[in-house]
Copies of this chain bind each other. A is one copy, B any other.
Amino acid sequence: MDHKSPLVDSKHRICVSQLDLPPRLLLGPGPSNYDSRVRHALSANEIGHLDPKFIDLMNETQELLRYVWQTDNPFTIPVSGTGSAAMEAAIANCVEPGDVVLVGVNGYFGERLCDMASIYGADVRRIEKSWGDVFTLDEIGEALEKHRPSLLGLIHAETATGAMQPMDGIGKLCREFKSLLLLDTVTSLGGVPVFLDRWHVDVAYSGSQKCLSCPPGIAPLTLGPRAIEKLNSRKTKVANWYLDMSLVGKYWGAERTYHHTAPVNMNFALREALRIIAEEGLENRWERHLTNSKALWEGLEEIGIGLHVDEDWRLPTLTTALVPDGVDAKAVIGYLLNNFNIEISGAFGPLAGKVWRIGLMGHNSRHENVLLLIAALKEALKAA
């Protein structure tokens, strides 16, 4: 071994300064800011992923996730990746090659579900609505009747459009048609009412960095009894090692068998974020999100900015605000960031350049943020 090697090449040995980041107010589609308690938990004393203290923490986190999701599912865990990893875990474990998978596509994340299901060999069928619209129960019933899928995938809160899918009756229909119901709750969990068990949802996932107000890098996933039955009766192996819940489940279950090293600190942060939600109470939290979003919607309309989504299914956690005629959407975004350290976001697909996406999520759903944003937007519209 050549330990004192003269051969070390230092051309990539750059000298960079200490991280010095501005105090951004994150009012885009996520990540959102988080409570200082979460920041503190994130850098708690590091421990091993098989430490008895970590096992305690795992149990607590699982239980709090059940509360937030309103589910009794024993299989309720944080996946060691961001929301997209949990989304892929949901598909990879519940879909086998040849399965008919029906996806409601009314925005970017429905498209992504189709892509993922197709990677795992599904026969993908789509029902479509325009970006900002939602599906009626009748439309879903007809599609279930026509396609007879083994899984129906819906986006509860479309982060790309700001629309919230009404859930009444869908789960019952899925059971009649013997279809699993998969629900993307990335931008709804912890911000608006989610009742997984009452809605008969079989598979759901979320992200940490939206209404849970935890940094990104860990993502809740839950599998109900019918999803577990599907997993256990698969004819083929799950075609993904990292996200194979038949393996990961042994680490989070009674066995505690090593599968991969859990992102320990991210788990600390998630536990604290969930603890804050349990303290506030779901009803209070949902009420807070709705109240502040209503104030935002009124404030936007007062300064001449319309709203893209019909009030009946408008999402209280992420608002799509119409860019007024003649205004450069990107210039306003840049002005807010550079002058006020406020992040809001543009859109993509058919909404690119037409709407801004404004998040009031979790910790950031506060009246003072609404006041500041409206005032800042007024200035930006004049200046940009």
Contacts and interface: CB of A to CB of B under 8 A. Distances in A.
Nearest to A36: B43
Contact of A19 (B72, B259, B271): B271
Contact of A261 (B31, B44, B88, B283): B31
A207 B44 CA distance: 20
Interface stretch (A133-141, A171-179, A192-200): A192-200
Contact of A242 (B8, B81, B278): B81
Q: For chain A, give the interface size range.
A: 35 or more
Interface-centre pick from A10, A48, A262 (highest chain B CB count, 10 A): A48
Copies in the complex: 2
Contact of A21 (B34, B47, B198, B263): B47
Contacts of A8: 70, 281-283
Given A82-B262, A241-B119, A271-B19, A198 B7 contact: yes
B217 A266 contact: yes
Contact of A85 (B80, B268, B275): B80
A52 B5 CA distance: 38
Nearest to A272: B19
A292 B266 CA distance: 31
A14 to B, nearest CB: 5
Interface in A244-265: 258-265
A148 interface: no
Interface stretch (A56-64, A99-107, A365-373, A375-383): A56-64
Contacts of A72: 12
B241 A84 contact: yes
Contact of A264 (B31, B264, B287, B345): B31
A-B pairs with lowest CB-CB distance, top 6: A217-B263, A12-B67, A84-B260, A12-B66, A21-B45, A215-B265
16 contacts: A1-B193, A5-B193, A8-B283, A11-B67, A13-B67, A21-B53, A22-B53, A24-B47, A48-B343, A50-B345, A51-B343, A82-B260, A88-B240, A116-B241, A119-B237, A119-B240
Given A26-B48, A48-B343, 14 more contacts: A4-B287, A5-B193, A5-B283, A21-B44, A21-B47, A24-B47, A24-B51, A26-B46, A51-B337, A83-B261, A216-B261, A240-B240, A242-B243, A263-B266
